[in-house]
Amino acid sequence: MRQIVLDTETTGLSTTEGHRIIEIGCIELVNRRITGNHFHTYLNPDRDIDEGAERVHGISRDDLETAPRFGEIVDELLDFVRDTELVIHNAEFDVGFLEHELTLIEHGKPRIKQHALVLDTLTLARKLHPGQRNSLDALCKRYEVDASNRELHGALIDADLLARVYLAMTGGQTAMTLEESAATLGRNDNGGPRTAGNREGGRSAELDLVVVRATESEAAAHDALVEKIRKSV
């Protein structure tokens, strides 16, 4: 099963005010494992960035002067996510912005669900933890996902955090720390930010692991939990 954990950064909060996407980050999961394959790009929005948004992600308009525009990377993005399940936190926000961008370039298939399924981890978290804070930061703390290396929000680093939260929230585990993944995912070989086309695949080193097999009752309890989560999505 192939899933893509996706996050965006934008010039502001609402497409109705003409705000645009300025960064897209995608992390690939295959059979619930982070593969190291990813898609990442900054985008030139051809407009100013709200001060409040810039305080969150630290990206200025000057930083994006030489970045591609959405229409230049759309084919590569859609190829990367096609026929997968997109895992997005507060999916309504990111999907709304992506569909806005597709509409602006008059794409023939402007609806995200024409390209991929969508799983909203915010909706899932609210069902699993009703009445609690379910922001990405809160979930990182709850599931002990190390976010200490993040100083500002960024689409790729937030997608990486969400991938680890999602796996923990649905019963999985991962081995890489945020510091390790940020070092490989957030920068290219020259130390600069990755852009469209910076997609890499790789395998972690072979590990000598002690395998402890579940008892029949533990396996049954696990299957029941997975079925409960599947029905809640």
For residue 152, the model assigns a pLDDT of 85
The angle formed by the CA atoms of residues 189, 24 and 26, to the nearest 5 degrees, is 75
Provide the token pair at 74: 């759309």
As given in the structure block, the two tokens for residue 88 are 């997005």
| 189, pLDDT greater than 50 | no
38's CB contacts (< 8 A; 6+ apart) are 25, 26, 27, 28, 156, 159, 185, 194, 198, 199, 200
Report pLDDT for 109: 98
Contact yes or no for 55/12 (Cβ under 8 A): no
- Three-state secondary-structure class, residue 38: strand
With respect to residue 166, please indicate whether it lies within any of the assigned structural domains: yes
**Is 144 inside any structural domain?**
yes
For the chain, how many residues are written?
Answer: 233
- Residue 224: what pLDDT? 58
Instruction: State how many domains the chain has.
Output: 1
* Non-local CB neighbours of 215 within 8 Å, separated by 6+ positions: none
pTM of the model: 0.75
Query: Is residue 77 over pLDDT 90?
Result: yes
Domain CATH code at residue 38: 3.30.420.10
Cα atoms in the Cβ-side hemisphere of radius 13 Å centred on 134? 17
Cβ pair 46, 63 in contact under 8 A = no
Q: Catalytic pick from 40, 57, 153, 222? A: 153
pLDDT of residue 185: 55
CA distances to 37, 127, 200, 201 from 189, in Å: 15, 41, 12, 15
Burial 164-173 (b: 16+ CB within 10 A, else e): bbbbbbbeee
Q: Is residue 168 part of a domain?
A: yes
How many other C-beta atoms are found inside a 10 Å radius of the C-beta of residue 119?
Answer: 17
The answer to the question of residue 119 being in a domain is yes
* Among the listed residues 176, 192, 168, 157, the one whose alpha carbon sits nearest the alpha carbon of residue 8: 157
* From 1-5, 53-57, 200-204, the region with the lowest mean pLDDT: 200-204
Q: Which DSSP category does 13 fall into? A: S
- The most confident of 123-127, 146-150, 176-180, by mean pLDDT: 123-127
At residue 133, the pLDDT reads 97
Question: Which tokens go with 206?
Answer: 């072979």
Mean pLDDT of 86-106: 98
Does 153 qualify as catalytic in the annotation? yes
Task: Please report whether residue 231 resides in a domain.
Answer: no
In a domain, 134, yes or no: yes
> Residue 148 is inside which H or E element, if any?
none
State the residue range of the domain holding 140.
2-203
pLDDT score at 150: 85
Q: In one letter, which amino acid is 5?
A: V
89-101 burial by CB neighbour count: b if 16+ within 10 A, else e? bbbebbbbbbbbb
